[in-house]
A and B are shown apart, each in its own frame.
Chain A
Amino acid sequence: MTPSPETADRRGDSRQFFVSLARAFGGAILFSFPILMTMEMWSLGGHMDGVRLALFILLSIPLLIGLSYYDGFEITSGLLDDVIDSFVALTVGFVSAATLLFLFNVINSSHSIDQIVGKISVQAIPASIGAMLAQSLLAIDKGTEDTAENRKRTANYAGQLFLMVVGAVFLSLSVAPTEEIILISFQMSVWHTIGLALLSLFIMHGFIYSVESSGHDNAISNDSPMWSIFLRYTIVGYAIVILISFYILWTFHSLDGLGFVEQVRAVIVLGVPAAIGASASRLIL
């Protein structure tokens, strides 16, 4: 590569950045559309507990930073770059959520500022994750895609578990606020619940094992026995799924006032999409 004048270089950098930015907006809208059009999410933003919402926003920052490393909308070099990209993703998330909610007339001047901030914030977080996932949702740029693929392939055990967390959040977030999760859990008997938990484990193991045997994933050693993969990935993965599912339902007030058994049931119901997301994260992210 011949050295170019700094100005030209900067212009090139800026152009590349705006292309990435456009892609990030695409990802934000693509990922958050289902919940932007979910009624429960509108009212949640208005009445959910402020501390839970603040925690939800706060926890999204480390998630985005990690995601930026593995799957960001542009190739990053170093932690600072990942942090910058995370906040760019948050800007994109807030702007896209605010724009769409305004156009849907979900937020208008009859709402208090408090309500408006809540309504936008609760939607902006999934939108920011979408912005960050833009690279894999809208894979256009070969270089970015290859680097991300390479980083994911060579992720260590902690990295693999992190990708499971992201996958679980990714799939469960779009159904978590709906009334149906709780309704399904009310309809189920204890036996249905146990069956659903076993099915989730079975699906998870299937995805993880198929990823492993296709040589898609180097971190899981090819000659490790089935039980080892089951213990190290499927069981640990399901534990992650349960925690994520519980956290999201708690954040959205879906568990409020439920008895312990009813809470477990709801967590297992949301655990189905979370389990699929976690175990297939290497495939879908």
Chain B
Amino acid sequence: MAKEEENENEQQASPPIWEWILAVTGLVIVCVAIGMTLYRGVTQDSSPPNLKVIVKAVSQKDQGFLVEFDLINSANRTASTINVEGRLKMNGEAVETRTMTMAYAPSNSTRSGGLIFSRDPRLYEVEIGAVGFENP
């Protein structure tokens, strides 16, 4: 019991400087976090996701030709389960179509993925775009 009191007395002394530094750091972090999230909450516009696909690179792999792309969502709302469709076209006629699903396209962020074609996309006109999504 006496030991406990002693312990308590030791703690009565003003907290070490490190404790103050960390506490103030915490206060700043919390204020920034609250400020930013609150700002996001107040200014959140409810316009739907704005999706765009940009082709990054084409390369030959064991099972065909890989087209790497970026999926950019420039709106403030997140989209999920995005269906991405890619077509190889010749003279406006689609000769090969590939689809895949992206799990998430967070707001104002970029996600990347790839589509695999059996024909060389470099010989055709490549058209890749998001065809649909779900609200998370």
Partner of B111, one of A9, A10, A13, A110: A110
Report B37 CB to chain A, min CB distance, Å: 4
Instruction: Among B6, B107, B136, point to the contact of A115 (Cβ < 8 A).
Output: B107
Count how many chain B residues have C-beta atoms less than 8 Å from C-beta atoms of the other chain. 47
Q: Which of B14-22, B59-67, B92-100 contacts A (4 or more CB under 8 A)?
A: B14-22
CA distance A117 to B4 in the complex (A): 41
Please provide the chain B residues from 62 to 86 with a CB less than 8 Å away from any CB of chain A in the complex: 77-78, 80
Decide: B26 and A46 in contact? CB cutoff 8 A: no
Q: Does B133 contact A (CB under 8 A)?
A: no
Residues of A within 8 A of B118 (CB): none
The segment from A87-95, A162-170, A235-243, A267-275 that touches chain B is A87-95
A-B contact number at CB 8 A: 145
Q: In the complex, A113 Cα to B104 Cα: how many Å?
A: 17
A112 and B37 within 8 A (CB): no
Contacts of B78 in A (CB 8 A): 43, 46-47
CA distance A18 to B22 in the complex (A): 11
Helix, strand, loop or mixed for chain A's interface?
helix
Which residues in B have their C-beta under 8 angstroms from that of A110?
109-112
Chain B residue numbers with a CB within 8 Å of A16 are 10
Q: Output the least CB separation between B108 and chain A (Å).
A: 4
Inter-subunit contact A58/B108 (CB<8 Å): no
Interface residue count on the A side (C-beta < 8 Å): 53
Given A9-B13, A47-B106, A91-B26, the answer on whether A117 and B7 have CB atoms closer than 8 Å is no
Alpha-carbon distance between A34 and B42 when the two chains are bound, in angstroms: 31
| Interface residue? A121 (CB, 8 A) | yes
> A115: which B residues are within 8 A, CB to CB?
106-109
Which residue on B lies nearest to A91, using beta carbons? Answer: B26
Residues of B within 8 A of A18 (CB): 18
Residues of B within 8 A of A51 (CB): 37-38, 41-42
Q: Once the chains bind, are A84 and B11 in contact (CB under 8 Å)?
A: no
When chains A and B are docked, how far (Å) is the Cα of A9 from the Cα of B16? 10
B19 to chain A, nearest CB (A): 6
Q: Does A146 contact B (CB under 8 A)?
A: yes
Contact of A117 among B13, B18, B33, B104 (CB under 8 A): B33
Cβ contact within 8 Å between A77 and B25: no
B29 within 8 A of A: yes
* Chain A residues closer than 8 Å to B4, beta-carbon distance: 143, 146-147
Interface centre among A49, A50, A144 (most CB of B within 10 A): A50
Chain A residue numbers with a CB within 8 Å of B136 are 43, 47
A81: B residues at CB distance < 8 A:
11, 15
Name which of B17, B19, B36 has the most chain A CB atoms within 10 A of its CB.
B19
Which residues of A line the B interface, CB within 8 A? 1, 9-10, 12-14, 16-18, 21, 43, 46-47, 49-54, 57-58, 61, 74-77, 81, 83-92, 94, 110-115, 117-118, 120-121, 124, 143-144, 146-147
Beyond the given A18-B18, A53-B41, A77-B11, please list 11 additional residue pairs across the A-B interface where CB-CB is below 8 A.
A21-B18, A47-B106, A54-B41, A77-B12, A87-B27, A91-B29, A92-B22, A110-B109, A111-B109, A115-B109, A143-B3
- Report which B residues bind A (CB closer than 8 A): 3-4, 6-13, 15-20, 22-27, 29-30, 32-34, 36-42, 44, 77-78, 80, 104, 106-112, 136
Give 19 A-B contacts (CB < 8 Å), ordered by A residue. A14-B16, A14-B17, A16-B10, A43-B78, A43-B80, A43-B104, A47-B78, A47-B136, A50-B37, A53-B37, A75-B11, A76-B11, A85-B19, A87-B23, A87-B26, A90-B29, A114-B108, A115-B107, A121-B37
